[in-house]
Amino acid sequence: MQAAAHELPDRAAASVLEPAAAGVDSWSVVMDLLQVHRCETLAYRILTMPAVRSACEPPETVVCDLRNWYRQTFERIVFEPRVVAGLLSELATAGVPALAIKGLVVGAWLYDDPVLREHDDIDLLVPEALANSAHSILTDLGYVAGYRPPLFPLESLSSADYRHPGREVHVDLSFDPWLLFWRNEAAHRDLFDTWWARRQDLEIGGYRLPTLGPEDQFIQLARHLQFHDYFRANMWVDLGRLLHRHGDRLDWDIVGRDARAFGIHGGLYRTLELLARGLAVPVPDAAADAMRPSWPVRRLHRRIWEDDLAGIRERLPIAGRPIIPRFLSPGGPHPVAGVVLHALNPSRGRTLQYLVRRYVPPQDWLRSVYADTDRRSYPALLRHHWQQLVEFRRRVRNR
């Protein structure tokens, strides 16, 4: 990760990787980890540097497999800019503003070769108030909506996925890339307007695609990494490259102001701490000053997201850590610390209200959502709703 995040040149990367390669007992295990962490194309680029290849001596079969994966990924990604541009045009014609986010645009922005940033889908950010309009457009184009959990209120969904029968790539509509969850409709509308006003355009494959501005990119990437329990290595590399390339030029006052306004500065600060520990990425003083939370919040974040998360793991834990209330689980590593952390959040009232409404929705809502069932009594509808939530949790664990 360090060689990729710091964009080390050939000989410098070789000096970093040679000791690690000497301790490799099984290159098949390395290949498995590269696949899990979506770093196969990145590894191909680094391992085929002349000095690195000479120092690490990867087996020819490994290099061949990585080369084949790079070629397949290239063949898939090469047509994505045209697909994204077409979708953005269709949405704009219908009056739905949209930004391309995550994989493709992050690859074009932070990597000299977008193929090095592997991803599974096309991510588009649209205003939540226009989610139904965006849904209609995608379904008219032949996309089919994926599984949607029966959460209450429905506005708490952060995204919705769509698949096209004739295409390998699928589309993920995002409404809440910062994973805020506790905002009212007006605040969210104003926030999208802010993202739109601060957007930047990137030229990818001959198309100009709008995406989040640099400051908003940092918040989104840092939140996304913590949301996934600091697991995937490619997300670490994203943030390392962002800080390496743009850290001194970001307006950290904007980042700190927005993060504090929505109570997420503690998580962003912890992400910076782990980046410094795991990747030796220098953190700008302005960034630390802008986001440093109170001492109790710092301690709780360090308790929930320990230092050893800044490393390579084989798989996600069964129960995620409590970045949001749906991951407040007795099976989690530190549920008590998570409860205390949420209790210190200024939005704790909304958190409690959300949990009550989620697990004990009103009878009218239950009947409208589960109209196809013959369970007409309120207790029976509640039991059915709870079964659906258990099913949703099973799907999340097996994803």
State which of 10-19, 62-71, 367-376 shows the largest mean pLDDT: 62-71
Q: Taking 90 as the threshold, does the pLDDT of residue 164 lie above it?
A: no
- The reported pLDDT for the residue numbered 290 is 96
Average pLDDT over residues 167-178: 85
Strands 159-163 and 144-145: antiparallel
Q: For residue 308, which of 281, 266, 274, 267 has the smallest C-alpha distance?
A: 274
Report which of residues 221 and 180 the model is more confident about. Answer: 221
Rg (CA), the chain: 22
- The reported pLDDT for the residue numbered 329 is 56
pTM: 0.89
- Cα separations in angstroms, 129 against 143, 173, 192: 20, 13, 10
Q: Taking 80 as the threshold, does the pLDDT of residue 332 lie above it?
A: no
The segment(s) of the chain belonging to CATH 3.30.460.40 are 80-336
If pLDDT is split at 50, 70 and 90, which confidence band does 185 have?
low
List of residues 6+ apart from 73 with CB closer than 8 A = 40, 41, 115, 118
Task: Please name the residue that has the structure tokens 């989104």.
Answer: 220
Report which of residues 82 and 397 the model is more confident about. Answer: 82
Q: Residue 131, Cα to own-chain centre: how many angstroms?
A: 20
Report which of residues 183 and 252 the model is more confident about. Answer: 252
- Cα separations in angstroms, 143 against 125, 146, 165, 205, 209: 17, 9, 7, 23, 21
Task: Please name the residue that has the structure tokens 């850590």.
Answer: 321
Buried b (16+ CB within 10 A) or exposed e, 196-235: beebeebebbebebbbbbbbbbbbbbbbbbbbebbbbbbb
If pLDDT is split at 50, 70 and 90, which confidence band does 169 have?
confident
* Residues 6-31: tens digit of each pLDDT: 999 999 999 999 998 898 889 999 99
Report which of residues 75 and 347 the model is more confident about. Answer: 75
Cα distance between residue 395 and residue 147, in whole Å = 10
If pLDDT is split at 50, 70 and 90, which confidence band does 262 have?
confident
Q: Residue 330, Cα to own-chain centre: how many angstroms?
A: 24
Strands 200-204 and 144-145: unpaired
Average pLDDT over residues 85-102: 96
Topology classification of domain 80-336? Beta Polymerase; domain 2 (3.30.460)
- The reported pLDDT for the residue numbered 163 is 87
* Residues 378-389: tens digit of each pLDDT: 888 888 888 887
* Residues 278-319: tens digit of each pLDDT: 999 888 999 999 999 999 999 999 999 999 998 888 887 666
Average pLDDT over residues 37-63: 95
The Cβ-side half-sphere exposure at 122, using a 13 Å CA radius, reads 29
Which percentage of the chain shows pLDDT scores above 90?
Answer: 56
Residue 388 CB neighbour total at 10 angstroms? 15
If pLDDT is split at 50, 70 and 90, which confidence band does 188 have?
low
